[in-house]
Amino acid sequence: MSLFDIISHQLVNGIVLGSFYALVALGYTMVYGIIKLLNFAHGDLYMVGGFLGFLTLSAISSVVGADWPGVFIAMFLSMIAVGFLGVVIERIAYHPMLAAPRLSILITALAVSLVLQNTVLALTGGQYTAFKSDVGFGGINIGSLFITYNQMILVATAAVLMIALQLFVTRTQFGRAMRAVSVDQDMCQLMGINVPVIIAITFFVGSALAAAAGTMAGAYYGSVWYFMGFLIGLKAFTSAVIGGIGSIPGAMLGGLILGLLEAFGTQISFIGSEWKDVFSFVVLILVLVLKPTGLLGQSEQERM
């Protein structure tokens, strides 16, 4: 295989992987931007979204089929369900802790993660569940490069969701309110903005995007597992930090960069695929040392 073939193949793999990272990273960065919480349960919402997408597709496949239209319907329903789950988690676990020290709410997030993981573990017995779909394996050849229709659909869907989120945040009244709350919650309350509702909308949108990524990952890789959200949650956090946590364009950029770095990093002879996770976290350490605010992040001064 020539150097050009290696680069082109890994470019496609990196973009596909980065799309998953970016969708999950958006939830991290949105929640952090609003209430300064590193929601370490967010990766588990990705996992729950994968399972709900599987259950929904299994229920409707006899009517709409199990190819991509059926997967999209299952993804949409999973997004709604996990979005409301994110709101319930915020109301029960996080909202009472907003005035508590940051460490307390961080420990609460870890506890929520364990609850979600162990609930699905108990329901599935810790076994991989086959995500049965009929998405096929077709594609197109561009020279020696073969790109599957699944890869094109996944990347296009992720791009549409990310563009829709950016338009929602920048062009709608709720989006402007979210940006205002991220700057000063007290002033927003004085101006008549319902801050708890804005926080709930933020959790709904972030959780829904994680569910979309989980459902698409299940259809793409063909299985879901109760522990599938742990590692991608860490990778999405790394993506958010690379791009600048709190910045929505930064989360998108960071996810794509991390996906590409992983894809190309596995081609380095002394790294290999078995070291790709180590490679990702080395990148995280380097970013924190060299540019703690990330590529698009801005330094903030703590108001006393």
* pLDDT, tens digit, 9 for 90 and up, residues 252-286: 999 999 999 888 887 776 666 777 788 788 888 88
Structure tokens at 139: 């594609």
Place of tokens 């929602």: 168
| Closest to 111 (Cα-Cα) out of 133, 84, 93 | 93
pTM: 0.93
Low pLDDT (below 70) residues in the chain: 1, 269-272, 299-304
Question: Could you list the residue range(s) of the whole structural domain that residue 189 is in?
Answer: 19-228
| Domains: count for the chain | 1
256 falls within a domain: no
- Write down the mean pLDDT value for the chain: 91
How high is the pLDDT of residue 301? 54
Q: Give dist(CA 232, CA 239) in Å, integer.
A: 10
Cross-strand pairs, 129: 224
182 falls within a domain: yes
241 falls within a domain: no
How far out from the chain centre does Cα 26 lie?
A: 6
205 falls within a domain: yes
How high is the pLDDT of residue 281? 84
Structure tokens at 253: 């950029």
224 falls within a domain: yes
How high is the pLDDT of residue 266? 76
Residue 246 gets the label, from left (phi > 0), alpha (psi -120 to 50) or beta, of: left
Structure tokens at 88: 């319930």
User: What does residue 198 show for φ and ψ, rounded to 5 degrees?
Assistant: -65, -40
- 103-151 pLDDT, tens digit each: 899 999 999 999 999 999 999 999 999 998 988 888 999 888 899 999 9
* CA distance to 23, 238, 259, per residue, from 268 (Å): 27, 21, 15
51 falls within a domain: yes
279 falls within a domain: no
213 falls within a domain: yes
